[in-house]
Amino acid sequence: MKHIMLPGDIERTSMEIISRELEERGITVPPEQAAVVKRVIHTTADFDFAQTLRFSENAVALGVEALNKGTNIVTDTNMARAGVSRPSLTKLGGEVFCYMADEDVAQQAKTRGTTRAVAAMEKMAREQPGAIVAVGNAPTALLELAELMEEGLRPTLVIAAPVGFVNVVESKKRILEACLARQVPIIAAMGRKGGSAVAAAICNALLYTATGREI
């Protein structure tokens, strides 16, 4: 006979399994980072993230505080945008944006011979300079973001989680250094692993903490 579980029961059981397996692997996650780490593992079933996720000092607390103030989120893909919990964000007074498919972004990228990700980050800097920026796909977005920060941009929080092989590792190192040097909070999935789902999972972990959701 099959055991039928409600979505909430499945998620709760999954989190219990994750906690148990972390303990069995001898991995201790700082309490202030646990919600993010477990949410990413829940999304990917990949325990490597328990060791590759990097957090600047108080990044989680500062991200939660910003969301509680209604800070918007800007993503680099519509997939990440779709993965962010709208009910939670709306409850806090924020919105989520992605400029990648905007006509002006496409035109600017074509005119300048650059990527849409670069043009999208430039539009973010103009329209949402104090946003939480979540990058889960494009290394060029992180490289452009680092350059914009050198010119004075200060996002509220950077979530750096592109996936792949070309410029991915390098872009994460670059943005991590840029954020640490300027005291901009950052959560980064170091190495090759990441993705839009990971970026959204980090956002959701912060949102669920901010709204007091149990899981």
**Catalytic residue ranges:** 42
The C-alpha atoms of residue 23 and residue 4 are separated, in whole angstroms, by: 28
Task: Give the pairing type, strands 53-55 and 186-189.
Answer: antiparallel
Q: 159 near 202, Cβ under 8 Å?
A: yes
Alpha-carbon distances of 128 from 97, 147, 156, 165, 202, rounded to whole Å: 9, 16, 10, 29, 20
Strand partners, 74: 97, 133
Could you tell me the two tokens for 3? Answer: 């055991």
Give me the amino acid identity at 26: G
